[in-house]
Amino acid sequence: MELFLAGIFIVAVVYLITKISSLQEDLKNIKYKLNRIESQMELPENPIDEDLRALLKEGKDIQAVKLARETLGLSLLEGKQYVDALKEDA
* Predicted TM-score of the model (pTM): 0.59
The pLDDT of residue 5 is 92
d(CA 62, CA 56): 9
Total residue length of the chain: 90
CB-based contacts of 82, cutoff 8 Å, min separation 6: 52, 65, 68, 72, 74
d(CA 5, CA 54): 58
- Among residues 46, 29, 57, 37, which one has the least CA distance to residue 82? 46
pLDDT digits (tens, 9 = 90+) for 17-58: 999 999 999 999 999 999 899 889 888 888 999 999 999 999
